[in-house]
Amino acid sequence: MKSILFIGLMVLSGLNNALAQASQETPGADLIVHNARIHTGNPAQPAASAVAVKNGRIYSVGTDAEVLGLKNANTKIIDSRGRRLIPGIIDAHTHVLNELGYNYTLRWDGVPTLRRALQMLSEQAKRTPKGQWVKVVGGWSPYQFEENRFPTMDELRKAVPNHPLIVQYAYNRGFMNQLAMDAFGVGTDKFPNLPGTELEKDAQGRYTGVVHGYTFTFIAMETMVPQLTPDEEVSSLVQIVHSLNRVGVTSIVDAGTGFRGYPKAVRTVDALARDNRLNIRMPFMDIQFGDGADFNVVDAQITAITKTAPIAPGHNLHPHLAHGHSYQGAGELLSVEVHDHENFDRPTLIIEPAKMHQLVERDISKLVQRRIPFREHITYDENITPFLDALEKLNQKMPLDGLRWSLEHAETISPANIARVKALGGGIALDTKMALHGDSFVKTHGRDKALQTPRLRHLVDSGIPLAMTTDAFRAASFNPWIGISWMVSGKSISGAEILAKDNRLTREEALRLFTRNAAWFISTESEMGMIAPGHLADFALLDRDYFAVPEAQIKSISSVLTVMDGRVVYGAQDYGSLTPVLPEILPAWSPIKHFGGYYQAR
């Protein structure tokens, strides 16, 4: 009798639980987007016209009739009006946390003429308060301008006469007016005269204001200008994400936690994440910087994640968003000594092979032993070879055995080394710098080499895990469509042919490197990069049809509706009313407040 009563109670309890769950979980979609030309990225269902979203995930893809049948009284219905819809862009290597000074910076990304760029400087100088600088820090190229040249120092001095001015081109050169030179201490021990730094002088031996250098020179200079308040940094992060959403980006990998390292760098992200206001997925790699000859980057990374603030690969710090701010491993910089930069104005920077061997034997071995994924920045094939020599030896003693690792950039990697990376289970995260700076590469390395840099066709056909990334916001622009245009058309931002015809990609292949393929680099292949049931609801509705517009228009594509985690994070044109209301931009004089993060003709 007791057993019968017990069974009856269990059945009753199960029914009550089912009824309670049913009352909480209303049948039907949260969001339906229909009347679209959907490129799903799913080979089993390459095209559709409607998509339904529930609880932040896609749960139906099909015809309008099929998907609209899933609506209920509370479903948000969005008519695409026949526009092209694609999976959300995944930028698997960028530097958002480096740019927490974003709101202090005038962006020249996309500005079509040098004349307009100089006007923007002049306008900004008039509203910048005393004590602050006027800055342009990366993301642009002289080859984007109709004038096809750099600004002169006279033009810059005239545009900004009464504030310190720094205009930085990638990590290659900077232009300073006299007030900036005085503040930096040019000509004194105060200036960060790091290896490779050259200060131009005129015929009379006077400093012109132009500095040539490598990455670390410009990073050091950035620490010497006025810094943002914590609230301004949070505002900067909001605006960075908004700029990314505008071009259809829904996920990024922050390749190095800014210049602060984990856990300091994540505090600004947490200010948005704890209230679920982070409108992008932001997995991160960790770089640690320190002083002293004995400082070891990898040892500092291991200390940070095991002792300072324990965290394991894959651990998500975002309390609400899947892959919102998850730790992905170490890199892209594992040793300052072997950093070969990416300055196409200068010849290939060759690293001593013994230093590459030491990096692997002394440092990467510690990561492999602890099963910590890693990425290493290597631009040139001459440096990739000794790195792989050492990694192959390490793999014999301490098998990688599926541990995720990748080369970052690898612009000039050879077919032989592509095969070696693949055999070791690694991936390659390329970048779009050749689209902006390929004209410089031609001057330095020759047109024949440029036409095969990188070896896109061979890389895609090899089947190696492969992504295209921007490496923004200083080395290149954050706009992925500039790079997609280059991969398809073979032309740089200047319009010059920079990729051989047999080294270009189809539009579908180029997009895949920024969507489905990119998911490999954050171990999310089963739930990101496609518009398919079960995948995270990240997608973008474009202002023009990527698959139909002339090649010359590809670089100008933007989103009119960006959805991340099943919610609208950006809207424009017909969908402007759907965009979330963002906080007031700080400070009031911010260039971003007046010009935005990417040029738009007024």
8-state DSSP, 277: -
Task: Report residue 2's pLDDT band, with 50, 70 and 90 as the boundaries.
Answer: very low
Beta strands in 311-454 (DSSP E): 327-330, 374-378, 405-409, 427-431
One-letter identity of residue 206:
R
DSSP assignment of 460-503 equals HHHT--EEEE--TTTSS-S-HHHHHHHHHH-B-TTS-B-S-GGG
Q: Is the peptide bond before 473 cis (omega within 30 degrees of 0)?
A: yes
The percent of residues in the chain predicted with pLDDT above 70, rounded, is 96
> Does residue 366 carry a pLDDT above 60?
yes
What separation in angstroms does the CA of 44 have from each of 40, 41, 532?
9, 9, 9
How far is C-alpha 548 from the chain's CA centre?
A: 26
Q: Which residue pairs from 209-212 have beta carbons closer than 8 angstroms and sit at least 24 positions apart in sequence?
A: 209/153, 209/156, 209/175, 209/176, 209/177, 209/178, 209/180, 209/181, 210/153, 210/173, 210/174, 210/175, 210/176, 211/173, 211/174, 211/176, 211/186, 212/172, 212/173, 212/345
84: which strand partners?
A: 37
CA angle (229 as vertex; 243, 305 as ends), nearest 5: 80
> Does residue 46 carry a pLDDT above 50?
yes
Task: Tell me how far apart the alpha carbons of residues 407 and 361 are, in angstroms, rounded to a whole number.
Answer: 17
Between 480-489 and 433-445, two packed helices, what is the crossing angle to 10 degrees?
A: 60
Q: Which helix (H) or strand (E) holds 564?
A: strand 559-564
Q: Report the SS3 class of residue 395.
A: helix
Which is nearest to 95 in space by CA: 351, 413, 408, 403?
A: 408
Beta strands in 283-435 (DSSP E): 284-286, 327-330, 374-378, 405-409, 427-431
> Does residue 273 carry a pLDDT above 50?
yes
> Does residue 8 carry a pLDDT above 70?
no
444: which strand partners?
A: none
593: which residues sit within 8 A by CB, 6+ positions away?
103, 585
Q: What is the pLDDT of residue 291?
A: 86
Average pLDDT estimate for 305-318: 98
Task: Tell me how far apart the alpha carbons of residues 13 and 488 are, in angstroms, rounded to a whole number.
Answer: 60
Q: How many CB atoms lie within 10 A of CB 319?
A: 12
Q: What is the pLDDT of residue 21?
A: 47
Average pLDDT estimate for 555-579: 98
What's the pLDDT tens digit per position in 470-494? Answer: 999 999 999 999 999 999 999 999 9
What's the pLDDT tens digit per position in 340-359? Answer: 999 999 999 999 999 999 99
8-state DSSP, 557: -
> Does residue 18 carry a pLDDT above 90?
no
Domains assigned to the chain: 102-227 (3.10.310.70), 247-531 (3.20.20.140)
Mean pLDDT rounded to a whole number for the chain: 95
> Does residue 10 carry a pLDDT above 80?
no
282: which strand partners?
A: none
What's the pLDDT tens digit per position in 124-148? Answer: 999 999 999 999 999 999 999 999 9
Instruction: Check: CB of residue 144 under 8 Å from CB of residue 493.
Output: yes
Q: Token match 């394991």: residue?
A: 312
- Sign of the CA dihedral running 94, 99, 102, 105: negative
Task: Report residue 149's pLDDT band, with 50, 70 and 90 as the boundaries.
Answer: very high
Task: Tell me how far apart the alpha carbons of residues 45 and 327 are, in angstroms, rounded to a whole number.
Answer: 32
What's the pLDDT tens digit per position in 538-562? Answer: 999 999 999 999 999 999 999 999 9
Which is nearest to 33 in space by CA: 567, 598, 518, 592?
A: 567
* Residue 418 in tokens: 């592509």
Task: Report residue 1's pLDDT band, with 50, 70 and 90 as the boundaries.
Answer: very low
What's the pLDDT tens digit per position in 199-231? Answer: 999 999 999 999 999 999 999 999 999 999 999
Q: What is the pLDDT of residue 502?
A: 98
> Does residue 339 carry a pLDDT above 60?
yes
Average pLDDT estimate for 43-60: 98
* Residue 255 in tokens: 């390749």
Task: Report residue 390's pLDDT band, with 50, 70 and 90 as the boundaries.
Answer: very high
Which is nearest to 442 in space by CA: 492, 488, 380, 502?
A: 492
Q: What is the pLDDT of residue 258?
A: 82
Average pLDDT estimate for 356-370: 98
Task: Report residue 6's pLDDT band, with 50, 70 and 90 as the boundaries.
Answer: very low
pTM for the whole structure:
0.95
Q: What is the pLDDT of residue 485?
A: 98
- Sign of the CA dihedral running 522, 525, 526, 530: positive
The percent of residues in the chain predicted with pLDDT above 90, rounded, is 94
Which is nearest to 166 in space by CA: 217, 231, 112?
A: 217
